[in-house]
Chains A and B, each alone.
Chain A
């Protein structure tokens, strides 16, 4: 058995155990996305990086300990690195929570809350399955273009989303959302008019209006 110290907590593990496994045993939470035991060996998402007291970085999912070692897993710079990394991942991710069957069990949604990264719409937290979306019932819900993080409280209570946490910023997502509004028979002007109640002074509102205009004027 070897002793592994993570964030000051010491656990004894079998030699060959990964730092990530040791951390779980020690009760230290380290985010990770790409480790699938038996399928993928990890070290791709770089979210699980930990550092030695000397400052060397290793992915904890992959680094196996064979002697007593110490690691830091929760320093501010590590969390900052995770946040930037995660933002990069989201940047080109196909975010279509309104149609995604995984939305109630999506690790990206969990991580976005943990790392305080914006960009995922309220649809990701909505309790209604995709085929029961309020939009399909003619209710103008702003969830597709609104920033999540509220656990979709209003949706849980039976109302629609008014976007009180502000708009999402990715233009391609806004485009797709407005195209869907149009498809489902809503006037993009009505969407903007409802959004304006909370977003009148929001910095991202100009982009929302611009995209709405663009989609609306298309044939």
Chain B
């Protein structure tokens, strides 16, 4: 049986589950600590090398996270296994999480002793044999997307850039996402090998009060959206007299377009588990929960696996690392609702009740789960806590702004060339994220606005792209930091339609408990709908604004409290579009169906018939002249012809037709 890093190196090691050694974690990498033996050191060195290059000295890493799986990673994995067998390669096929560079999904990472580690992008199963042949047989990396280092030993190294030189990597500060795409998410060993669980070990050595001090010193603010100082939350919970206490990890990432938490949980789940354990230790809770939304099953699976592995090796359970601290975690799958991300609704769901938020005060830190003091933190916050305890508060606080220290993971989606998750220091400008990291808009598209903070956030116009990403600046600009989802909106989008889109989401997700959100959002939606149909009046704008204010201030929870933000921010920055819809019955972006007509430019038309073939309303037919024409009285304006025409002969004009 192979020796793994988590095993005892020899009989002299006194660690066992019944009698854990407090230096167990440090000893994994820098040991043996309690005795001196070169063989034990060699054991560790060899194992680390095996982990790096695989037991056979060659490793093919296939990322298996929801993003890559969606792009066909499973088929690629099978193709890799197949090819390895067929080619008789001496290579380990391993899985990992994802780097977050979704524009290269699915990717492959190949490494071998002596060879530069090479990343191949957008791999199809049919590409696999060729890639493996090139790398392992021909030792040629010319076809790679990027290299992790240069050794001079492979052909074509000069043709391929170093990952660290590429903008979208170099400009990141991968503090909490350092392991994503690197380690096998199901392996506790790889987590510890990368430096994991040093944080918990140090926390035990400092004691709970000093742990809280460290977190306070770091300035860590909740990364779930509210930005409340994590250390303060832990301190308040700790100070409560009632017992038992609880800690909860909020893994209910619900914003459309946000997947930072998912990425973290699927790629480096142990960091979250460690963070939750540290939180439990700091506040004095012996039971923790991870609340995962049902729509992200792989996230739940990986977290569950991590819990089980941690239990197996005594990092959860009784007397962890000999600290005298008992702690266990239960992973709970939600029944699926956006409102569950609200902490009091989450508590109700865990209690088995309907996920209705509760009026605060009292806050969960005082009266939470089952009426007991509960500290709830976002998984990114917990991952930060684990890393801070391991690396030290100063290192965390070395980046960021005056008011907010550290880094944040942002997901950039929409009209950009490089969709992905990027971790940057707080205070980085939106422009850096959108243009330098995400590559800016694709050919022929101009950026009109950037939605920051999901359906609770606001639209920042392109003119304000130089604003820094920090809590206060975003709030005064009419948006919120939120969970970090950034959607780039191009000029082919209608801002009124965008506001309506977000309201469609929030009004459907409203839990129904309070009047302003339950009814107000519906009414706001119907006004926006009216405007997009060209039936809006200027009075409607007044009513819209008044409703938005009422819903914002009178709602019970933050769902209703922030749902009007997209409306308010688009009214603030894009009033011209609203007025065009109202006064001229015109949609400047040519999106709103009632206000546009689809036509075919017969000169450009090559009579391929694709439009007619795909038209769901059978509205397109051939004319006598042989070209195609749209019958405007039948056309439902779905836009399919516009999308499938190979020569862009279909165009849109203003007017109801």
* CB <8 Å contact, B554 and A44: no
Q: Is B555 an interface residue (CB 8 A)?
A: yes
| B94-134 interface (Cβ within 8 A of A) | none
Q: Does A206 contact B (CB under 8 A)?
A: no
Hey, which chain A residues are within 8 Å of B514, CB to CB?
43-46
Q: Is A62 an interface residue (CB 8 A)?
A: yes
In the bound complex, do residue A88 and residue B516 qualify as a contact, i.e. CB atoms below 8 Å apart? yes
In the complex the two chains form, is A85's CB within 8 Å of B359's CB? no
Nearest CB in chain A: distance from B360 CB, A: 9
In the complex, what residue of chain A is closest to B357 when comparing beta carbons?
A43
Q: How far is the CB of B114 from chain A (nearest CB, A)?
A: 65
* Chain B proximity of A133: nearest CB distance (Å): 30
Are B550 and A84 in contact, with the CB atoms below 8 A?
Answer: yes
Chain A CB within 8 A of B556 CB: yes
Q: Verify A46–B515 contact, CB threshold 8 A.
A: yes
Contact of A88 among B359, B361, B519, B553 (CB under 8 A): B519
**Distance in Å: Cβ of B535 to nearest Cβ of chain A:** 15
Taking the closest CB of chain B, its distance from the CB of A176, in whole angstroms, is: 20
Partner of B519, one of A62, A81, A92: A92
Contact A85 B516 (CB under 8 A): yes
Count chain A CB atoms within 10 A of each CB in B361, B515, B522, B546 and give the residue with the most: B515
Chain B residues with Cβ below 8 Å from A81 are 550, 553-554
Scan A72-91; emit 1 where CB is below 8 A from any B CB, else 0: 00000000010011001101
**B649: CB under 8 A from chain A?**
no
* A45 adjacent to B515 (CB under 8 Å): yes
**Which residues of chain A have C-beta atoms less than 8 A from B547's C-beta?**
84, 88
- B356 and chain A: residue at smallest CB distance: A44
**A63 lies within 8 A of chain B by Cβ:** yes
B27 within 8 A of A: no
How distant is A45 from chain B, measured CB to nearest CB, in Å?
6
Asked whether, in the complex, the Cβ of B519 is within 8 Å of the Cβ of A91, the reply is yes
Instruction: Report A-chain residues with C-beta under 8 Å of the C-beta of B513.
Output: 44
CB distance from B163 to the nearest CB of A (A): 49
Residues in A with CB closer than 8 Å to B522 are 92
Indicate whether B523 reaches chain A with its CB closer than 8 angstroms: yes
- Chain A interface bracket (under 10, 10 to 19, 20 to 34, 35 or more): 10 to 19
Contact status of A88 and B515, CB under 8 A, knowing A59-B359, A62-B359, A81-B550: yes
| A85 touching B515 in the complex, CB below 8 Å, given contacts A43-B556, A46-B554, A91-B523 | yes
Which chain B residues in 486-520 approach chain A with CB under 8 Å? 513-516, 519-520
CB neighbours (8 Å) of B515 from chain A are 44-46, 85, 88-89
- Which chain A positions have C-beta within 8 A of B554? 46, 49, 57, 81, 85
Looking at the assembled complex, report how far the CB atom of B241 sits from the nearest CB atom of chain A, in whole angstroms.
Answer: 15
Q: Are B520 and A43 neighbours in the complex by a CB distance under 8 Å?
A: no
Contact of B516 among A46, A62, A92 (CB under 8 A): A46
**Proximity string of chain A (131-171) to chain B, C-beta cutoff 8 Å, 1 when within and 0 when not:** 00000000000000000000000000000000000000000
> Within the complex, which residue of A46, A63, A84, A89 is in contact with B361, where a contact is CB–CB below 8 Å?
A63
Residues of the B chain whose Cβ atoms lie less than 8 Å from the Cβ of A85: 515-516, 550, 554
Contacts of B523 in A (CB 8 A): 88, 91
Q: Which residues on B sit within 8 Å (CB–CB) of A88? A: 515-516, 519-520, 523, 547, 550
- Shortest C-beta distance, A49 to chain B (Å), equals 6
Which residues B551-571 have CB closer than 8 A to chain A?
553-556
Chain B residue at minimal CB-CB distance from A55: B553
Q: Which residues of A contact B359 (CB under 8 A)?
A: 43, 58-59, 62-63
Q: Tell me the B525-558 residues at the A interface (CB within 8 Å).
A: 546-547, 550, 553-556
Bound state CA distance, A63 and B362, in angstroms? 8
CB proximity to A under 8 Å, residues B307-364: 358-359, 361
B contact residues vs A (CB 8 Å cutoff): 358-359, 361, 513-516, 519-520, 522-523, 546-547, 550, 553-556
Q: Which residues of A contact B (CB under 8 A)?
A: 43-46, 49, 57-59, 62-63, 81, 84-85, 88-89, 91-92
23 A-B pairs in the complex with CB atoms less than 8 angstroms apart: A43-B358, A43-B514, A43-B556, A44-B514, A45-B514, A46-B514, A46-B515, A46-B516, A58-B359, A59-B359, A59-B556, A63-B359, A63-B361, A84-B546, A84-B547, A84-B550, A85-B515, A88-B515, A88-B516, A88-B523, A88-B547, A88-B550, A91-B519
Q: Which 8 A-B pairs have the closest CB atoms?
A: A43-B359, A88-B519, A84-B550, A46-B554, A62-B359, A89-B515, A44-B514, A44-B513
- Using A43-B556, A59-B556, A88-B516 as known contacts, list a sample of 18 further A-B pairs with CB atoms less than 8 Å apart, ordered by residue number in A: A43-B514, A44-B556, A45-B515, A46-B514, A46-B554, A46-B556, A63-B359, A81-B554, A84-B546, A84-B547, A84-B550, A85-B515, A85-B550, A88-B519, A88-B547, A88-B550, A91-B523, A92-B522
